[in-house]
Structures are given as C-alpha cells and as structure tokens.
C-alpha cells in the first residue's frame, strides 16, 4: 500500500478518508515519551518502560452513588 512509511501525514489522511464517521489523530513522541491509551511509553537506548498515563484534567475522584440492583 505504501512504499515509504515516513510520511505520517499521508497515512493519517488515508485512514481519515476511509469513512467520515471515524477521525484518527496522530500522537508524536516528545522527549522519548509517547502517551498511548492509558500508558506513557518511555524509550531508552535498550528498552521501553511503561507508566500509567493520566490527563492533566484527571481528578482521580469517584462517585459514591448507590447502584440500583435489578432483579
């Protein structure tokens, strides 16, 4: 499909042209780190390390609303 995978924008545009209902984004690494799903992946010379990633907007709070049981 692609002879050269270095053109990230071309690949991204191709994915986004498949259907208007899906919109893909591109996340680039910064300082050898990449946030993917709920992980921060850090690249070193010889390996990768993984940490939990939380957006700056995360409050780490939970709701204490009783759940209604069905039955």
| 21 within some domain | no
| 35 within some domain | yes
Q: What is the pTM of this model?
A: 0.52
Residue 2 has pLDDT above 80, yes or no: no
pLDDT of residue 7: 83
| 17 within some domain | no
| 8 within some domain | no
CA atoms within 13 A on the CB side of 22: 9
**47 backbone φψ class: left, alpha, beta (φ>0; ψ -120 to 50):** beta
| 71 within some domain | no
| 43 within some domain | yes
| 4 within some domain | no
Pick from 31-35, 41-45, 65-69: least confident: 65-69
Write out the residue range of the structural domain in which residue 51 sits: 27-56
Summarize pLDDT for 43-59 with one digit per residue, the tens: 998 999 999 987 777 56
Number of domains observed in the structure of the chain: 1
pLDDT of residue 11: 87
| 31 within some domain | yes
């Amino acid at each position: 499909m692609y002879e050269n995978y270095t053109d990230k924008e071309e690949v991204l545009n191709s994915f986004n042209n498949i259907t208007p209902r899906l919109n893909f984004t591109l996340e680039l690494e910064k300082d050898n780190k990449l946030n993917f799903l709920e992980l921060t992946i850090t690249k070193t010379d010889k390996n990768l390390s993984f940490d939990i990633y939380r957006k700056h907007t995360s409050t780490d709070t939970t709701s204490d609303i009783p759940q209604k049981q069905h039955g």
